[in-house]
Amino acid sequence: MKNIENNNHTFNLIRDAIPIKWNIKLIQSNGKKSRKQETRNEEQQKRKNNIIQTPLEIKPETRKMKVIKRIKENNIANVFIAENSDRKQFEFVESIQPPLTIKQKWVLILSTLYGCPVGCIFCDAGGNYHGKLSFDEIMFQIEYLINQRFPDKYVDSDKFKIQFARMGEPSFNNNVLDVLEAIPNTFSLKSFVPSLSTIAPIGTDNFFNKLLEIKENLYQNDFQLQFSLHSTDEAQRDELVPVKKWSFEKISEYGKRFYSSKGKKITLNFAMGKTNILNVTDLKKYFDPMIFLIKLTPVNPTFKAKENKIESLIRPDVKTYSLIDELNEEGFEVILSIGELEENKIGSNCGQYINALNQKNETIDQSYSYGIVDL
């Protein structure tokens, strides 16, 4: 957290990310709606009532942002680097996941903060926090990719998913909520799954209460919510994710409120390093297998994982783990999510961040090796 004193966002950081060692009373926002929000809600209501039938016009060129770099084009995943008028940069990703085509599945992974005050010790997007992306900056990422792939503005994909999971803990930015509310009114989509991954930091209750309202109003059975736990041992979880977070009880209570029987189970994600603790008995104390499923992922090859000597337990060539059997025996559904190895080389995987390359004079085996093209 040493960047905190050195930038202009001390207030935001105090409110947004309370390091474990601090004990600061949080001041919650009063939840009042802005005029912009009210206008959007009125429009949303009109659309629900079929008064407005066409999607809003998409004009990314009117936003003061531009894409300045991208990863060499390929058919697995593409990473784009954009810059705003203050020359602040953010990255976003489209993931294609062959052999599926874009028409079968298309996933966008968006940034929500500049840097991230959480600083998970395996994540290259963490640290160097210098602000939140605006509503327009988040929408720009979606609009840019839709314009590239579906220039007639109709996203003709059987499974179109947007994940708020590139750079930044999304619950620190209320603009994410506005974007979630705006998406159905702005884009013309054949299908849509919104997906939000969070470490559940403290001080974000207003965000999550509003998220629940939005899910119930707009995305009843489609919302994919993930809590990134990484360990069932609280002390180890604090080392891996070094800010104050909701307890397991609180995550469990919220998950029960969020879950609907026709919707998706709530995901508990563990990026499993070799020393990560996942005690199935402890997990079952808090989390009901009827409501929560477990996703096991590798620790991807990042600069931070290398610096902190975190080796992945999950390996691409190994598909069976005794841990999965233990979880299954306790009734948990388990997803082993390994993904394409090539995505590590592209730098599109979880915890990776292309701009981290600029700050390093080293390389990582099997990681970040695709060329970056200036646009």
Binding of ligand SF4 by 199 (CB under 6 A) = yes
Please choose, out of 7-15, 161-169, 206-214, 253-261, the segment that lies near ligand SF4 by the rule CB under 6 A. Answer: 161-169
Binding of ligand SF4 by 138 (CB under 6 A) = no
Give the whole-angstrom CA distance, residue 194 versus residue 152: 22
Element (H, E) at 373: strand 372-374
305, two tokens: 């994982």
Tell which one of 133, 135, 164, 168 touches ligand SF4 (CB under 6 A): 168
Nearer to ligand SF4, 233 or 326 (CB): 233
259-295: b or e for each residue (b if 16 or more CB lie within 10 Å)?
A: beeebbbbbbbbbbbeebbbebeebbebbebeebbbb
Please choose, out of 31-39, 112-120, 276-284, 331-339, the segment that lies near ligand SF4 by the rule CB under 6 A. Answer: 112-120
Nearest distance from residue 272's CB to ligand SF4, in Å?
Answer: 14
The one-character DSSP state at 4 is G
Give the whole-angstrom CA distance, residue 125 versus residue 179: 21
Please choose, out of 10-18, 114-122, 247-255, 317-325, the segment that lies near ligand SF4 by the rule CB under 6 A. Answer: 114-122
Q: Which has the closest alpha carbon to 273: 128, 123, 116?
A: 123
Nearer to ligand SF4, 43 or 205 (CB): 205
Tell which one of 79, 102, 107, 118 touches ligand SF4 (CB under 6 A): 118
Number of residues near ligand SF4 (by CB under 6 A): 12
Binding of ligand SF4 by 182 (CB under 6 A) = no
Give the whole-angstrom CA distance, residue 5 versus residue 226: 31
Question: Are the C-beta atoms of residues 344 and 367 closer than 8 Å to each other?
Answer: yes
Nearest distance from residue 212's CB to ligand SF4, in Å?
Answer: 20
Give the whole-angstrom CA distance, residue 141 versus residue 82: 8
Nearer to ligand SF4, 105 or 230 (CB): 230
Rg (CA), the chain: 20
CB atoms within 10 A of CB 111: 26
Nearer to ligand SF4, 119 or 273 (CB): 119
Task: Name the phi and psi angles at 78, rounded to 5.
Answer: -125, 130
Nearest distance from residue 107's CB to ligand SF4, in Å?
Answer: 17
User: Contact residues for ligand SF4 (CB under 6 A)?
Assistant: 116, 118-120, 123, 125-126, 167-169, 199, 351
